[in-house]
Amino acid sequence: MKALKFTLRPLTPFGTPLAGDTLFGQLCWALALRRGSAGLDDLLYGYVDGQPFAVLSDAFPAGLLPRPTVPDSVAGLAAADPRERKALRRRQWLPADQAALPLHAWLHSAVEAAQGVAVVRTQNTINRLTGTTGRGAFAPRQVEQIEFPPGTVLDVHAVHDPERLTAAALHEALSDIGASGFGRDASTGLGKFDVIAMDAAADAARTPAAHAMTLAPCAFDPEAIDPDGCWWLPVTRFGRHGGTAALGGGGGPFKRPLMLARTGAVLRWQQPCGDLFHGQGIGGTGRPLSGVMPATVHQGYAPVVSIRLES
C-alpha cells in the first residue's frame, strides 16, 4: 500500500461535508462509470477481508490535521491555566509537518484555520403545471450549504494499492467527482472542485509507533488495538445509495445505520506498528447493509498518522 496526498480547490459551495467514507462511496461510482460494474467488482474483491484497494481521509485545510480526541490529562494540559486550555480547544487544527512532536508540544502549535462555513439558502421547486411555487413539495424551503472563503485549498490523504488502482487512475476518478459534483444537490451545481496537486506522502515508510490518530470515520479492528488506551467519539451514518441505485428499485435508497468512530480518534496498538490505515470494510453479501444492493460496502477503514503520547 502507498500513501498519497491530493490537494483540492473548492469551486462552489458544498451540500455535503467532504468526509472520507462518503468520498469513498462516490469514488466507487466514478470508477464504475469508467470501468463498468465488473471493473468495480474486481477492485472490491477482498474489501471486507482487510484488503481495500483505496482508503480516503476527510478533507482538511491544506497542511493541517485535526486535533486528536484525547482528554487534557492525556494531552499534558491538565496543569495548564484554564484560560489557556480553553484557548487551545478553540484551535482545532495542527500543523501536519509537526506530527512527530510529543502531543503536548504539538497541541501548543494548534491554529484556527479557514474552513467551510455553514450558510442557509432558500430553494424553490417549480410546479410545471402552474409555472410557480405552491404548497407541500412546491413550497419554498431553506437548506444548509457549506461555503469556502476565496483561496481555500484542502488536503485529502489517501492510501491505495498501486497494483489494483494506480495513482494516476485515482487522480482521474477524483477529478471526475470534482467535475460532476460531490454530495447532495450536485445536479444544481454544488460540490464542484479541482484536483490541483498529487504528492507522494513523505511518511509512507513509517517507524513503528505505539499510538496513531485516524483521519476519517472508522470501524475499529479490535484485534489490532488496546481498548484501554483509545479515545474516540461516536458518529452515526444514515447512508443512502447514489447514482442510479438511489432510485431504489422499489426498496428505497436507504442503507442500514452505522455507528463509527469520529475522525480524530486516538488508537493504541497492541504492538507498535507503522500501518498506513486501520479499520474494517463493512457490508458485502456476507453482512449486507443494504436491502437494495446486498453487495454494497462502506468504508470502515481510515488513514492514520502516528502520534507521540507520553505516559
How far apart (Å, rounded) are the C-alpha atoms in residues 285 and 271? Answer: 32
**pLDDT 10s digits, 88-135:** 777 889 999 998 888 888 888 888 876 778 888 887 888 888 888 888
- Least Cα distance to 1 among 63, 51, 75 occurs for 51
132 half-sphere exposure, CB direction, 13 A CA radius: 3
**Tens of each residue's pLDDT in the chain, 311 residues:** 899 999 999 999 999 999 999 999 999 999 999 999 899 999 999 999 999 999 999 999 999 999 999 887 877 776 667 777 777 777 889 999 998 888 888 888 888 876 778 888 887 888 888 888 888 888 888 888 899 988 899 999 999 999 999 999 999 999 999 999 998 888 889 999 999 999 987 544 467 889 999 999 999 999 999 988 899 999 999 988 876 676 655 567 888 899 999 999 999 999 888 889 999 999 888 888 888 888 889 999 999 999 988 75
Task: Identify the pLDDT of residue 202.
Answer: 55
Task: Identify the pLDDT of residue 204.
Answer: 44
Q: What is the 3-state secondary structure (H, E, C) of the chain?
A: CEEEEEEEEECCCECCCCCHHHHHHHHHHHHHHHHHHHHHHHHHCCHHHCCCCEEEEEEEECCEEECCCCCHHHHCCCCCCHHHHHHHHHCCEEEHHHCCCEHHHHHCCCECCCCCEEEEEEECCCECCCCECCCHHHCCEEEEEEECCCCCCEEEEEEECCCCCCHHHHHHHHHHHHHHCCCCCHHHCCCCEEEEEEEECCCCCCCCEEEEEECCCECCCCCCECHHHCECCEEEECCECCHHHHHHHHCCCECCCEEEECCCCEEEEEEEECCCEEEEEEECCCCCCCCCCCCCEEEEEEEEEEEECCC
Task: Identify the pLDDT of residue 11.
Answer: 94
Task: Identify the pLDDT of residue 251.
Answer: 65
Task: Identify the pLDDT of residue 120.
Answer: 82
β 2-10/193-200 pair status: antiparallel
